[in-house]
Amino acid sequence: MTNPVRRAALACLLGAGLAWSGLAPAAAQDWPDKPVTLVVPFASGGTTDIIARTIGQKLGEALRQPVVVDNRPGAGGTLGAANVARATPDGHTLLLATVAHTMAPGIYKSLPYDFTRDLVPVGLVALTPNVLLVSPSLPVRSVAELIAYIKSHRGQVNYGSAGPGSTEHLSGELFRAMTGTDIVHVPYKGGAPMMTDLIAGQIQMAIETSPSAAPHVRSGKVRALAVTTARRSPAYPGVPTLEESGIKGYEVTTWYALMAPRGTPAAVTQRLGAELAQALRQPDVLKRFEEQGVTAGDMSPAQLGEFIRKETERWTKVAKSSGAAAE
């Protein structure tokens, strides 16, 4: 978004701060009156966890109440989302949602919640490329070499994910479908345990989010072959895009959004959105994001809601065309 659009969105959030829905003015002054729980629907140590702790600290300082990160991994992020969807809508329980939550409706036969109905958008936190990684033990140094290796070792190359329906899962399925390769999905309960096995050579490849991948790429523990975004990432100098590597039309951006249970008072979500926008402009946050190949988010709640709707449509189509499914 341009700077004028950013300023307009922030002004809208701040200007609406007195428009309370469901809370009396006295209650408005009291919120939050206890620690705020930020549910991370994946294991600790992964990208979602890293971003949540960075933003949670800043929100806690602004709200003058601790923001406690609560990791609830499982089922590709849907267990944590269900937990927040069922929470009391008083602004004390929030979700750091990801693109995986727009993938889940196309993957699972049924879910205990409706992502677009039961949760409301507060603000876009961050965007990051995924990175195609391979174990250093794999004798390949380009996407073309990887594809040739997979085709000559049919059914022997495993790719890891943070769980069924996760961004790594659908990114891998999209890769499989667009390259006509036979790779085997190995789901984990988060990106961190998956990365441990990739480093150890227990799995051969993964399409992982940038913050989880970056330190291991820099240390040489894993090898980056390509990024999934339309443009190259400054965090990976010299690493081409998958489009440049011959997979025409392949583009995936992983995003993270702050969500609240439906029914949360409008002024609570408006204040949260304003504080989030402020946090995302702070130099130390921007520096930490830049180091890990992350771009700070910039969308109004209305824009984010429409973005989520379009992402859900897109990934439902990918799931159906690839045949990806989870119980």
To which residue do tokens 């489009």 refer?
A: 243
CA 30 – CA 26 distance, rounded (Å) = 7
Identify the CATH assignment for 3-128+254-322 out of 3.40.50.300, 1.10.3720.10, 3.40.190.150, 3.90.1140.10: 3.40.190.150
Structure token pair of residue 109: 């036969």
The full set of domain ranges for the chain reads 3-128+254-322, 129-227
CA 29 – CA 48 distance, rounded (Å) = 31
Whether 129-227 and 3-128+254-322 are alike in CATH topology: the answer is yes
pLDDT of residue 75: 85
Query: Quick count: other Cβ atoms within 10 Å of Cβ 156?
Result: 12
What are the angstrom distances between the C-alpha of 259 and each of 29, 117, 182, 212, 262?
A: 22, 12, 37, 22, 9
User: Considering the entire predicted model, what is its pTM?
Assistant: 0.81
pLDDT tens column, 187-242: 988 888 999 999 999 999 999 988 889 899 999 999 999 999 999 998 898 999 99
Identify the CATH assignment for 129-227 out of 3.20.20.70, 3.40.50.1000, 3.40.190.10, 3.40.50.300: 3.40.190.10
226: which strand partners?
A: 132
pLDDT tens column, 260-306: 999 999 999 999 999 999 999 999 999 999 888 899 999 999 999 99
